[in-house]
């Protein structure tokens, strides 16, 4: 039985259209300018039909290779590990960072006294679906970058300071949840995306285009 277009979940329709845009761009059917213009529209439109119309002239079907590459690109990295469950970052009049493909423990304790810490989860390998950051910031701060497909919960108490959470909220049960607890005084904690979802789509599209061009040689 075919479900009416307007009765389908709009985000599912949007994802299918964006997949077609990326696929046809990677195969050289549409230009980079047309791809970004249509991508912007697909992300902004709130009408099922308007979204579908953006790919109505694109006739190729997305294949398994595309779906496999997309799964690898957009999935959170999970792995079992024997690393300690707790890691401590102490920053006094200085700074430290965690970035790249590092293994994330269940708990991260961060002390920033007139110092700062950068924690980047964008390419991190999660060993648990629940991660707690216990922060103590006094005249210091923490800058946290997360991928777009994680949940971030903030519970920190702020006195003459602030916690700015710009991470998107999603309802994926398999996505990890990062909970930020602690105390912030005369300092701040900033949570945001390293790349916007559009930037990630464009980067993936360019990777697919390069891969397809290489296969044609």
Tell me, what's the pLDDT at 17? 94
**131-168 CB burial, b ≥16 within 10 A, e <16:** bbbbbbbbebbbbbbbbbbbbbebebebeebebebebb
Percent of the chain with pLDDT over 70: 94
80 inside domain: no
In a domain, 160, yes or no: yes
User: At which of 74, 89, 108 does a domain end?
Assistant: 74
Total of domains in the chain: 2
Residue 29's domain spans which residues? 3-74
Q: Is residue 8 part of a domain?
A: yes
| Mean pLDDT value across residues 48-68 | 92
Longest alpha-carbon distance in the chain: 65
DSSP 47: -
Q: Is the pTM of this model over 0.85?
A: no
| pLDDT the model gives residue 169 | 59
Residue 183 lies in a domain: yes
In a domain, 50, yes or no: yes
Split at pLDDT 50, 70, 90, the class of 166 is confident
Q: Is residue 28 part of a domain?
A: yes
Question: Looking at the domain assignment, is residue 217 inside a domain?
Answer: no
Average of per-residue pLDDT across 49-67: 92
- Choice between 2 and 85, residue whose per-residue pLDDT is larger: 85
Residue 173 pLDDT level (bands cut at 50, 70, 90): low
* pLDDT for 53: 95
Kindly state whether residues 51 and 114 are assigned to the same domain: no
Q: Is residue 207 part of a domain?
A: no
């Amino acid at each position: 039985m075919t479900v009416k277009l307007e009765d389908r979940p709009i985000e599912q329709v949007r994802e299918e259209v964006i997949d077609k845009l990326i696929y046809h761009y990677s195969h050289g059917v549409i230009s980079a300018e047309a791809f970004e213009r249509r991508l912007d529209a697909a992300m902004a439109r709130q009408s099922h039909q308007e979204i579908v119309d953006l790919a109505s002239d694109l006739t190729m079907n997305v294949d398994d290779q595309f779906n496999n590459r997309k799964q690898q690109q957009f999935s959170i990295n999970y792995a079992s590990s024997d690393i300690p469950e707790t890691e401590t970052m102490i920053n006094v009049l200085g700074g430290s960072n965690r970035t790249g493909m590092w293994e994330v423990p269940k708990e991260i304790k961060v002390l920033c006294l007139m110092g700062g810490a950068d924690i980047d989860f964008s390419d991190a390998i999660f060993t648990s679906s629940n991660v707690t950051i216990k922060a103590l910031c006094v005249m210091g701060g923490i800058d946290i970058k997360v991928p777009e497909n994680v949940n971030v919960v903030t519970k920190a108490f702020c006195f003459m300071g602030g916690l700015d959470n710009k991470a998107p909220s999603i309802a994926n049960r398999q996505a990890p949840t990062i909970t930020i607890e602690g105390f912030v005084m005369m300092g701040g904690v900033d949570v945001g995306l390293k790349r916007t979802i559009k930037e990630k789509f464009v980067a993936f599209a360019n990777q697919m285009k390069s891969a397809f061009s290489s296969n044609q040689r």
